[in-house]
Amino acid sequence: MSGYQTSFDLKRCLIDTVMAGLISLVVFGPIVGIVLQGYSFQTEPKRLAVLIGIVMLGRFCLSLFLQTVRGQKIAESFSKPGGGVHVLPPHHKSNLRFIIPILILLAIAFPFFANKYLLSVVILGLIYVLLGLGLNIVVGLAGLLDLGFVGFYAIGAYGLALGYEYLGLGFWSMIPLAAVMAALAGALLGFPVLRMHGDYLAIVTLGFGEIIRLVLNNWVGFTGGPNGRPVPNPTFFGLEFGRRAKEGGTPIHEFFGFKYNPNAELIFTFVVLVIVVLAVLYIKHRLTRMPVGRAWEALREDEIACRAMGLNHVLVKLSAFMIGASTAGIAGVFFATKQGFIDPSSFTFFESALILAIVVLGGMGSTVGVVIAAFVLTILPELLRSFADYRILMFGILMVLMMIWRPRGLIRISRRGYEVRKGVPPSAAHTRVMPTPVTGKEVTP
């Protein structure tokens, strides 16, 4: 586009405004305009008029703004397809190297000023970051649509509750064990679905998630069924976080001689969780640069080509399922610890959809995007407590808008391009070691 138009088209603005008003009438009319009172209902035209007025005014201002040069530029940047992965030059240095230390400092400072509520919200956010990162490997990188991800989450959470009850396992031993258990479950799911793609895969994984939930719900003798199961409190080298120790243990505040802090347990969970999230982020970052990470992405892009390249698609798919699942298993342990009590109703399909929404919203395959989206989708509902009834509506609107303007997610996936290493001469001694395509025949003895 060469030039931007400078004159204002008032007629278009007015048409836009009227259209927006009509749409909001259709949307808000039945919801806001009609109020049920017992068996009768009452119309509330004033409330409706105010809402529609706000929408129309907003649309009018938006239309005017979009006709300014600046607005046109913004509109253009939205309408750009922008599709696909953005390949950065090999030596690109990301801004993240400044942002990450700041975030770590923030995380260290956070427990000092946060109250109990804030801590638990952020812990929930971090748990969803873990879940998002796990599903991101399966959906974002390997391109395998998984709608039953919550199953692995449940395995981690119940692993802690049942492991404590039957085997006496605690928080620390369950973190690695939950990862292993969830990974095994991932492999179990992975085998039958190796040949499936897209819709079929989605249906099978959906079924898998439901199976896990239904087993937990109905095997009353083992899992406690709908009554749920208590979860042990975490300990720090055998030190407890309660005011008074149970069963002869030592409370941490007595051992170190500081004042009892009722938030200590949450702070402890937060600290361990931050460390785990950072470790997972680092591992994921390394994995995407390793051959297996590239293999995942290649599998997402073209499975036929992958197999023609000699890639073992069984291994690649299973590794994606297993690593993704193990992350969810760890998240489950933290969730159970934070809640102190779990029951099957925490692991419904809605949870899977939420995790998938985090991945889609964040941008499939983009780590930064997933982290941001996880916080947005867990903290936003908390901030919007007063609109609790409309949370799902807002959620839906957000998703629709996303798909229109940012179909590839908030943050475009970008990765560093391949770097040709210096110092290897183009036709060096290797030619004698192995037949090459160009000189193959002459060189082979």
Partner 1 sequence: MTALLEFQNVDVFYGPIQALRNVSLSINEGETVSLIGANGAGKSTLLMSIFGQPRAAQGNILYQGQDITRKTAHFVASNGIAQAPEGRHVFPDMSVEENLLMGTIPIGTKWVDEDMQRMFDLFPRLKERRNQRAMTMSGGEQQMLAIARALMSRPKLLLLDEPSLGLAPIVVKHIFQILRELAQSGMTIFLVEQNANHALKLSDRAYVMVTGEIRMTGTGQELLADPQVQEAYLGGH
Contact residues toward partner 1 (CB under 8 A) are: 84-85, 87, 89, 291, 294-295, 297-298, 301-302, 304-305, 307-313, 417-418, 420-421, 424-428, 430, 434-442
What's the closest the beta carbon of residue 78 comes to partner 1, in angstroms?
21
Q: Which residue, 43 or 312, is less far from partner 1 as judged by CB?
A: 312
Of 445, 352, 423, 414, the residue nearest 154 (C-alpha): 352
What's the closest the beta carbon of residue 200 comes to partner 1, in angstroms?
19
C-alpha span between 209 and 205 (Å, rounded): 6
Q: Which residue, 83 or 221, is less far from partner 1 as judged by CB?
A: 83
What's the closest the beta carbon of residue 436 comes to partner 1, in angstroms?
6
C-alpha span between 298 and 294 (Å, rounded): 6
Q: Which residue, 253 or 416, is less far from partner 1 as judged by CB?
A: 416
Q: Which residue, 90 or 226, is less far from partner 1 as judged by CB?
A: 90
C-alpha span between 46 and 56 (Å, rounded): 15
Q: Which residue, 114 or 292, is less far from partner 1 as judged by CB?
A: 292
The single residue listed with the structure tokens 């499936």 is 196
What's the closest the beta carbon of residue 327 comes to partner 1, in angstroms?
24
Q: Which residue, 6 or 444, is less far from partner 1 as judged by CB?
A: 444
Q: Which residue, 291 or 340, is less far from partner 1 as judged by CB?
A: 291
Q: Which residue, 116 or 286, is less far from partner 1 as judged by CB?
A: 286
Q: Which residue, 148 or 362, is less far from partner 1 as judged by CB?
A: 362
Secondary structure (H, E, C), the chain: CCCCCCCCCHHHHHHHHHHHHHHHHHHHHHHHHEEEECCEEEECHHHHHHHHHHHHHHHHHHHHHHHCHHHHHHHHHHHCCCCCCEEECCCCCCCHHHHHHHHHHHHHHHHHHCCHHHHHHHHHHHHHHHHHHHHHHHHHHCCCCCCCCHHHHHHHHHHHHHHHHHHCCCHHHHHHHHHHHHHHHHHHHHCCCCCCCHHHHHHHHHHHHHHHHHHHHHCHHHHCHHHCEECCCCCECCEECCCCCCCCCEEHHHHHCCCCCCCHHHHHHHHHHHHHHHHHHHHHHHHHHCHHHHHHHHHHHCHHHHHHCCCCHHHHHHHHHHHHHHHHHHHHHHHHHHHCEECHHHHCHHHHHHHHHHHHHHCCCCHHHHHHHHHHHHHHHHHCHHHHHHHHHHHHHHHHHHHHHCCCCCCCCEEECCCCCCCCCCCCCHHHHCCCCCCHHHHCC
What's the closest the beta carbon of residue 138 comes to partner 1, in angstroms?
18
Q: Which residue, 49 or 305, is less far from partner 1 as judged by CB?
A: 305
What's the closest the beta carbon of residue 89 comes to partner 1, in angstroms?
7
What's the closest the beta carbon of residue 120 comes to partner 1, in angstroms?
39
C-alpha span between 189 and 352 (Å, rounded): 16
Do residues 4 and 72 touch, judged by C-beta distance below 8 A? Answer: yes
Q: Which residue, 256 or 418, is less far from partner 1 as judged by CB?
A: 418
C-alpha span between 197 and 360 (Å, rounded): 18
- Helices and strands in the chain: count of H runs, count of E runs: 19, 8
What's the closest the beta carbon of residue 444 comes to partner 1, in angstroms?
9
What's the closest the beta carbon of residue 367 comes to partner 1, in angstroms?
16
What's the closest the beta carbon of residue 307 comes to partner 1, in angstroms?
5
What's the closest the beta carbon of residue 417 comes to partner 1, in angstroms?
5
